[in-house]
Amino acid sequence: MTVVLKLGGSVVTEKDRAETIDGAALDHTADAIADAISAGDIDDLVVVHGGGSFGHHHASEFGVSTTDGSHDVDAVHAIHGAMTTLNQFVLRRLLDRDVPAVPVHPFSAGHRSERGELTFPAGQIETLLSEGFVPVLHGDLVAHAGEGVTVVSGDELVVELAASLGADRVGLCSAVPGVLDDADAVIDRIDEYEDVADVLGESEATDVSGGMAAKVRALLDLDSNATIFGRDGLSAFLEGDDPGTTID
Ligand SMILES: Nc1ncnc2c1ncn2[C@@H]1O[C@H](COP(=O)(O)OP(=O)(O)OP(=O)(O)O)[C@@H](O)[C@H]1O
Ligand SMILES: C=C(C)CCOP(=O)(O)O
């Protein structure tokens, strides 16, 4: 069973306060992952975490998004540097619980063509998985032909890896309990973007990669099902259930 799990930046950080970890949420998340691995619920796990108040804060300061790039070397170091710092925090929490977590920095692995298409080789991840590690990636910057560097969101990486690894399960843990309808009830299942386009918005916090609308669009393109759920749904997802919203 291969699982790709995205930990939203709104889960692991306080998204409204620059470079602030949500320590309690991170502990809860790391506990749920360690428990699922020791219970034997998952063989291969890839974790991808978002930017939260680390990536998005600096990216918006330098005007960099998934489509608008920069050639400013200071922007590269500020944004990528903040993301590697957040990655260290996530890794530490997992290592403290004996999860064999190792870093994979997308800036050193992927790139975009002039048309913005992402190339992200999966061989490194596949090999780490078969050698018993838990790769922990993150939203980052990537080289972008004609643009300098642009943001690659954790959601894009999840979609790429889910397809290239042939993942059995894909989960996005966010600050909301799922995709919400106009009465704030969790939508159980989404098959068509048009059915939910009216209720999908961007993130309430600073976010350069498109919030919930971009997430749903990207997940609908996947061959396999994906699930969007909140913090309280993480253990259930890791145990094999489908809490929150299933994107078909
Ligand atoms: N219909 C909707 N249902 C649920 N959330 C929505 C909806 N429309 C907009 N949102 C916003 O989308 C946010 C989730 O997207 P966001 O990109 O912030 O999540 P994340 O993946 O946890 O964060 P990050 O991008 O930092 O990793 C919610 O917190 C909410 O503000
Ligand atoms: C803003 C940066 C650098 C990463 C964005 O990743 P996301 O939070 O998964 O969208």
Q: Transcribe 92-126 into DSSP letters.
A: HHHHTTT--EEE--GGGT-EE-TT--EE---HHHH
Q: How does residue 116 score in pLDDT terms, banded at 50, 70 and 90?
A: very high
Spatial neighbors of 106 by CB under 8 A, at least 6 apart, are: 120, 137, 138, 139, 140, 141, 142, 152, 157
Q: How confident is the model at residue 1 (pLDDT cuts 50, 70, 90)?
A: confident
Q: How far apart are CA 131 and CA 107, in angstroms?
A: 23
pLDDT for 81 equals 98
Mean pLDDT, rounded, for 165-194: 95
Q: Say what the pLDDT of residue 16 is.
A: 84
| 37 touches ligand 2 (CB under 6 Å) | no
Q: Residues with beta carbon inside 6 Å of ligand 1?
A: 8-11, 50-52, 56, 154, 174-176, 179-180, 199-201, 203-205, 207, 209, 211-212
Residue 221 has what pLDDT?
Answer: 87
* pLDDT over 70 at 158, yes or no: yes
Terminal CA-CA length for the chain? 19
Ligand-binding annotation for 178, yes or no, is no
User: DSSP character for 133?
Assistant: -
pLDDT tops 80 at residue 206: no
User: Where are the domains positioned within the chain?
Assistant: 2-247
- Regarding the beta carbon of 22 and ligand 2, being less than 6 Å apart is answered no
Overall average pLDDT of the 176-198 stretch: 94
Best substitution site from 16, 179, 212 to test ligand 1's pocket, by max atoms within 8 Å of Cβ?
Answer: 212
49: annotated binding-site residue?
no
Q: How far is the CA of 213 from the centre of ligand 1 (A)?
A: 8
- Tokens 């989404």 — which residue? 190
CATH architecture of 2-247: 3-Layer(aba) Sandwich (3.40)
What is the helix (H) or strand (E) element at residue 79, kind and residue range? helix 73-95
For residue 238, give both structure tokens: 């890791």
Rounded CA separation 243/246 (Å)? 8
Whether the pLDDT of residue 61 is over 80: the answer is: yes
ipTM over 0.90: yes
The pLDDT assigned to 200 comes to 87
Q: What percent of the chain has pLDDT over 70?
A: 97
CA atoms within 13 A on the CB side of 59: 29
Q: Does residue 195 contact residue 175 with C-beta atoms inside 8 Å?
A: no
CA 14 to centroid of ligand 1, rounded, Å: 13
Q: What is the CA radius of gyration of the chain?
A: 17
DSSP letter for 233, please: G
Beta bridge partners, 140, equal 152
pLDDT at 204: 67
Per-residue pLDDT at 41: 86
Question: In a 3-state reduction of DSSP, which class is residue 56?
Answer: helix
**Distance (Å) from CA 156 to ligand 2 centroid:** 9
7 is in an annotated binding site: yes
**Residue pointed to by tokens 């992952």:** 33
Average pLDDT over residues 59-81: 97
pLDDT tens per residue, range 123-148: 999 999 999 999 999 999 999 999 99
pLDDT tier, 25 (very low <50, low <70, confident <90, very high otherwise)? very high
In this predicted structure, the answer to whether residue 149 has a pLDDT above a threshold of 80 is: yes
Q: What is the mean pLDDT of residues 100-106?
A: 98
| Cβ 156 under 6 angstroms from ligand 2 | no
For residue 185, the model assigns a pLDDT of 96
208 pLDDT above the threshold of 90: no
pLDDT of 174 reads 93
